[in-house]
Amino acid sequence: MDAAAKTIRPVSADELADAIMWAARSGQRLALRGGGSKRDVGKPERDATVLDMTAFAGVVDYDPPELVLTVGAGTPLGDVDKLLASRGQALAFGPFDHGPIFGRPPGATTIGGVIAAGVAGPLRLSQGAARDHLLGFEAVSGRGERFVGGGKVVKNVTGYDLPKLMVASWGRLAALTQVTLKVLPGPTTQLTKLVVGLEISAALRLMARAMGSQAEVKAAAHIPCSAAHGGGPVTALLLTGFPASLEARSRMIDALIGTYEPAAPMEDADSAALWRDLAVAAPLGRERVLWRISVPASRAAMIGEALELAPRDQLFDWAGDLIWIAYDGDWARVRAAAEAAGGQAMLVRATEAMRATVPAFHPRAPEAAALEERVRRAFDPLGVFETGRF
């Protein structure tokens, strides 16, 4: 390997292992890169060599009756979605695509990148997270060793639930080459019920009742400032299924709405477009500093109050468990507000100067940070994947 190389693109697991061992011997740092949709999350990587994983793409095995799909980790998410849709199926979790947050086209992010980031969209509450549906994987560790975890295990590491460790590792443990995922039948029809005019506290109460009802609500979100409704607040509740089922469950939602003011429901394509926009916080704009805050829904209103946010600065997903805020003020205030509400704040989009000084992830408790460090050293003892990004 040329030490001056800025990008390496292995085309086999053996080549990948060789590249990682070369980096370990020469003291190089490797930045894993698939579709590049998340490259602007975290600190700018200065001296790392890019390890391009896009050659690990394509379908390895797909068994629609068994609802199991195995693909190369470098396969674009758009290709995975198209393949599954052709058989009336979809990924069991609602995958999240960072691309549009940074003005990039949707679908280019790789399935390996989605798993490594551990991200899910508005369906997270009803269908689970990526970690719940990753059955197995193949990867190469920072030691340059090929290994397999989960389904179809050939070699495992005693003491670790490997699939769950890989999810949300952000490329700091190993380079994924292949993933096996559980899939589900895709929705036949979807309907989004809308309620206008609710203040945040009332919207949170309605979403909690809806998610706990027998209406089988798939997703719930609140937009305090909706351009489509004259800048007023809108609460959205998603239903999916067969038409007869949707009609009955829609009536259940009407009963929950009660005296609140409903708006015309959105169906199929319009509904899908709304939830795509909500997934990437589009109502907050494309250029503003963007934070993602995980917090108990019962305390979600505390964030806006503590930071004195305007309606246009906040968006509530996951029935209030997830808050997106556009805020370019004192970042320490954001983290303090999240902690006071029992949550955590992640910096997703910011200027390069801000990214260089503000950690992307919320600080870990000392015990958790120490455990995380030991796990990383077990997989990557020489810090090959430690680029300083996080």
What distance in Å separates the CA atoms of residue 54 and residue 11, rounded to the nearest whole number?
8
Kindly give the interhelix angle for 243-257 and 200-211, rounded to the nearest 10 degrees: 140
pTM for the full predicted model: 0.93
CA distances from residue 348 to 125, 222, 272, 289, 293 in whole angstroms, order as listed = 21, 20, 23, 8, 10
pLDDT at 4: 46
DSSP code at position 274: H
- pLDDT of 3 reads 43
Q: Tens of pLDDT along the chain (390 residues)?
A: 444 458 999 999 999 999 999 999 999 999 999 999 999 999 998 889 999 999 999 999 999 999 999 999 999 999 999 999 999 999 988 888 999 999 999 999 999 999 999 989 999 999 999 999 999 999 999 999 999 998 743 344 444 589 999 999 999 999 999 999 999 998 889 999 999 999 999 999 999 999 999 999 999 999 999 999 999 999 999 999 999 899 999 999 999 999 999 999 999 999 999 999 999 999 999 899 999 999 999 999 999 999 999 999 999 999 999 999 999 999 999 999 999 999 999 999 999 999 999 999 999 999 999 999 999 999 999 999 999 999
- Residue 20 sits at φ, ψ, to 5 deg, of -70, -40
Phi, psi of 234 (to 5 degrees): -135, 135
Q: What does the pLDDT read at residue 32?
A: 96
